[in-house]
Amino acid sequence: MTTSPSDHVVKVLNSNGYRTLRYDQPGHGGSSAPKDLSPTFDSMAEDVHHLLKKLEINKVYSWIGVSMGASAGVYFTTKYPNVVSKLAICDTISSSPINAGTEDTFGPRVAAAREAGNLDSTIQSTLERWFGKEWLENNPQETQRMRTVMSGTTIDGFEACCNALRSETFDLRPRFAKIGSSVDDAICIVGEKDANLPETMKEMRDKIQEGFEAAGKSNKIDLVIIKNAGHVSFVDGFEQFTAEVLKWLKA
């Protein structure tokens, strides 16, 4: 996903004294699609590491990641420990379908987009899956903003990110226990209506908690449910999301 959907959140963070750095996923927004359309979360973590080095940033106070950004955050912090102090993991699955033993929904979406030659129907179905038809109808301005942002995605970029999500290498579960020794604090956040993620992210939180305890840290890792929100919980759950994040950042 491009970073533009988080514009409203960034304004709140900036007004509270936090400087922000955002990057677009491959083939989204200002990032070109890679020549090899098979990136992994490990390679994307390396990309962020190169970005920080280029900007001469040695320490990051907090990584706030949603969906793929959350998965990338887990990979980055466990690959490069003690660079990020606080990790917010929001609305993410724990592994690729092949590792979870579930149906691969990403491959057919890519095939449909390739056959159509555009992402129009993909964007519409994604909006409905993320927010629900009722929310889209009741929030036309935000719906149009999201549609416009998503229209900047290339088919190659869409395929590249889907390939990362469906890769055999994508599995956060072995990394949960390492987070406690890689960062100072963490939080899990999920939209109440984000499919089965409230349940799976509870299991995620429990494993992360065990990792903190194994590292000798007394932190209580919270799982925050954003009421009436879906997969992009900082959009349809904006007020609660920003309030919870600010409270955690200031703790």
Over residues 182-225, the pLDDT tens digits come to 999 999 999 999 999 999 999 999 999 999 999 999 999 999 99
Q: Is 27 a residue whose pLDDT tops 70?
A: no
Cα 160 to Cα 26: distance, rounded to the nearest angstrom: 7
Domain boundaries, the chain: 4-95+104-250
| Residue 85 in this model has a pLDDT that exceeds 80 | yes
Task: Specify the CATH superfamily of domain 4-95+104-250.
Answer: Alpha/Beta hydrolase fold, catalytic domain (3.40.50.1820)
C-alpha to C-alpha distances, 87 to 22, 29, 35, 77, 91, nearest whole angstrom: 15, 24, 30, 8, 13
In one-letter notation, the amino acid at residue 118 is N
Spatial CA neighbour of 67 closest among 135, 139, 6, 120 = 6
Name all contacts of 35-38 with Cβ < 8 Å and 24+ positions apart.
37/156, 37/159, 37/160, 37/163, 38/160, 38/163, 38/164, 38/167
* Consecutive H or E run containing 212: helix 197-214
Single-letter amino acid code for the residue at 249? L
Q: Enter the pTM of the model.
A: 0.95
